[in-house]
Amino acid sequence: MSTLPDVRDLKPAGGKRSSKREQILNVFLNEEGHLTAEELVSRVQRDDRRVSRATVYRTIQWMVDAGIASRVDFGDGLARYERSYHHPRHNHLICNKCHRSFEFMSSDIEQLVDEVAASRGFSASQTVVQIHGVCEDCQHGRPAGSDHGLTDLLFARDALRMAIATERSGLEFYTRAARLTKDARGRSIFQKLAEEERHHLGTLEGRYAELLKRDPELETRPTFLFFKGAAHGLFAEGADRLLQGVDDQQALLVGIRCERGSHQFFKKYGERFEDSEGKQIFLEFASEEREHLDLLMREYRALVKRQGRRPRKGAGVPAARGTRQGRRA
Amino acid sequence: MSTLPDVRDLKPAGGKRSSKREQILNVFLNEEGHLTAEELVSRVQRDDRRVSRATVYRTIQWMVDAGIASRVDFGDGLARYERSYHHPRHNHLICNKCHRSFEFMSSDIEQLVDEVAASRGFSASQTVVQIHGVCEDCQHGRPAGSDHGLTDLLFARDALRMAIATERSGLEFYTRAARLTKDARGRSIFQKLAEEERHHLGTLEGRYAELLKRDPELETRPTFLFFKGAAHGLFAEGADRLLQGVDDQQALLVGIRCERGSHQFFKKYGERFEDSEGKQIFLEFASEEREHLDLLMREYRALVKRQGRRPRKGAGVPAARGTRQGRRA
DNA sequence: CTAGGTGCAAATAATTTGCAGAGGC
DNA sequence: GCCTCTGCAAATTATTTGCACCTAG
């Protein structure tokens, strides 16, 4: 039961803050997973016997209205509530044996769900994805480890991992491009781009290291954010041949396309997520890519002004980063 | 309220068949969508006042145990039940305004869900996917059309559509191959393959036409089965060049790869579905492709025996049908 | 001072159960 | 005749409400 440092300070509210509400809220926010109403009642009454069942129920309703809690339903007729404040939207794996549940998020599933809704002209407000079954521990008769509910941290971790993977594949790509490009000016552009990727990568890795300090076991925890098509196949293979005859203008155009793709990709997905640190990372990364993109575009325009626009040979600029290709695991 | 012809005959059971049970079962099976327990009670009591609430509840439990009904939970604390006998597993779009619900199925979502479960070592027994929101009718202030619950028919329709699309793209492919192939024997193999596809396509289209007779509006009803990667991109583009130098042995190998891919694809997906007409179609189509495949393989072996194995030039046989490429809509 | 929060107990709502009698095999 | 099903009414469970009282703003 690790403490959740910053959460309690900012409590958004509405209505009065009474001592009872404060008490119930604190108990609720200190729980990791989700609780049924009755569970919350007994947790609260363990501290203070005088708090009545009705008040807890009413406070739950208030928390839901205020956006602090959200209701989840596992189909057993009990209403469960979980923190939604600073906690990304997610889905559940639900074990029928030990009755624990595990959180995950999959942008690919969300994407498909959106497409289904769109095709029916349905305006979706919330989607529920639940996997009911038997968890790994129960299958192996293991004692059921603790269910660490560090979802926000896991989300941040996975978002950073994705940004890092993207940056890395960008670095690789530009490095290879620099190696292959014959034109000296083109080559130097790619070298510069590679250098920038390296630098940015360093920043991201620093941030990742900092995240690890918050929880030493963070790296070994299971994947929270499932996301294909992010770091895989973002840079087209086989562009090698085409790069050989690329000059500085064309090299900049290649860079622009890559950065634009990356920016759009992270922006698009960052926007789908609920408020949380992971969303922050997505959007920050998107805007960093945007800045980089703007820089490249200014540079490109300046170059054109100096040199005049040269005809582009070969349309073979690699597909934008963020494109879904190479979808296989 | 169309009648459901064959459903009532086969009722799987267990325990005694009393007149009350029979009554309740009939009422339940004649409903299209899902019912809450109370709704079923009042429907039943409309026919026969003497049936008690408790009996209905007990009979519901019996139906669930017998696999006739299954429970769905929309998160409002009411247990709902829907027919599961001869009704494919599916997911729901749930309208918050008119409280109707619409069914859909997406193999792509199921696929992703399976991958999430697998990555956590979770043995999934059931997955719930619900899209809550506002339906098209309610958004436009329209009067809320009837909710036709012909899911099984829709599934059959979509399964057939998919088989037809596959067959069609096979036909196109073999036709093009026959046009392009320079080697006379290779060409005649492709012509034969095209002819077979045409014939099979005819069969499928006949079956489709028969389906339409059961419900004249069937074609205009919304998509039930969402499925990318089925008919799209099954045959690789750009194989044209490679086909030119293909002889009869190689042409057969091309056909074998295509039919094998198609067989595996439909088998794999047919197996995921619950018992219903659509599943039938998937599995039938898979086994027809299998037969075709076996035929081609026998033919290939005979050819090799007659002619001896010739070296294959160019590995450029198109990717197997059923491969996921060209995933874009 | 007063709107809103709180406790208690009673009300509701969905579903289950105990028990005596009825009905299928 | 036995075992299961059925009806009725009472019990249980989860949640909400009425009402008198209390407290923060």
Q: Give dist(CA A301, CA B212) in Å, integer.
A: 60
B328/A contact by beta carbon, under 8 A: yes
Q: Which amino acid is at B243?
A: L
Distance from the Cα of A34 to chain B's closest Cα (Å) equals 15
Q: Which amino acid is at B98?
A: C
Give yes or no for a contact between B56 and B28, defined as CB atoms under 8 angstroms apart.
no
Check whether A323 has a pLDDT greater than 70: no
Instruction: Report domain B87-145's class.
Output: alpha beta
Q: Check residue B229 and give its pLDDT.
A: 65
- pTM here is 0.85
Nearest to A88, CA basis, from A70, A74, A111 = A70
Name the closest residue (CA) to the C1' of nucleotide C15: B57
> Looking up tokens 């005859």, which residue turns up?
A245
Q: From the CA of B70 to the C1' of D10: give the distance in Å.
A: 29
Q: Within chain B, which residues score under 50 in pLDDT?
A: 1-7, 9, 231-233, 314-329
Give yes or no for a contact between A68 and A31, defined as CB atoms under 8 angstroms apart.
no
Name the more confident of A268 and A116: A116
Q: Check residue A149 and give its pLDDT.
A: 72
Q: Give dist(CA B78, CA B38) in Å, integer.
A: 9
pLDDT tens digits, B203-216: 999 999 999 999 99
Q: Give dist(CA B312, CA B305) in Å, integer.
A: 16
If you count them, how many residues does chain A have? 329
Give the fold, CATH level 3, of B12-85: Arc Repressor Mutant, subunit A (1.10.10)
Q: Is A172 helix (H, G, I), strand (E, B) or coil?
A: helix
Nearest to A84, CA basis, from A101, A60, A100, A108 = A60
Q: How far is CA A77 from CA B83, B113, B175, in A?
A: 20, 24, 58
Distance from the Cα of A178 to chain B's closest Cα (Å) equals 30
Distance from the Cα of B151 to chain A's closest Cα (Å) equals 15
Task: Cite the beta strand spans of B147-298 per DSSP E.
Answer: 225-226
Taking contacts as CB-CB distances below 8 angstroms, the residues of chain B near A116 are 93, 104, 106, 109, 131, 226
Query: What does the domain layout of chain A look like in residue ranges?
Result: 12-85, 87-145, 151-324
Taking contacts as CB-CB distances below 8 angstroms, the residues of chain A near B104 are 116, 120
Q: Mutual orientation of helices A37-47 and A19-30 as an angle, nearest 10°?
A: 120
Q: Mutual orientation of helices B37-47 and B53-66 as an angle, nearest 10°?
A: 120
Eight-state DSSP code of residue A149 = -
Q: Does B151-324 match B12-85 at the fold level?
A: no
Conformational region of residue A55, where left means phi above 0, alpha means psi within -120 to 50, and beta covers everything else: alpha
Q: Check residue B271 and give its pLDDT.
A: 86
Q: How far is CA A223 from CA A209, A226, A329, B116, B149, in A?
A: 17, 7, 14, 9, 38
Name the more confident of B296 and A229: B296
- Nucleic acid strand C within 7 Å of A49 CB: no
Q: Give dist(CA B285, CA B160) in Å, integer.
A: 9
Taking contacts as CB-CB distances below 8 angstroms, the residues of chain B near A123 are 133-134, 139
Q: Check residue B316 and give its pLDDT.
A: 45
pLDDT tens digits, A168-203: 988 998 898 899 888 899 899 999 999 999 999 999
Q: List bases in chain D with any atom under 7 Å of a protein Cβ.
A: 4-10, 14-18, 23-25
CATH number of the B151-324 domain: 1.20.1260.10
Q: Give dist(CA B329, CA B228) in Å, integer.
A: 8
Q: Give dist(CA B68, CA B60) in Å, integer.
A: 9
Q: Give dist(CA B125, CA A97) in Å, integer.
A: 12
> Looking up tokens 């597993």, which residue turns up?
B89
Give yes or no for a contact between B254 and B246, defined as CB atoms under 8 angstroms apart.
yes
Eight-state DSSP code of residue B87 = -
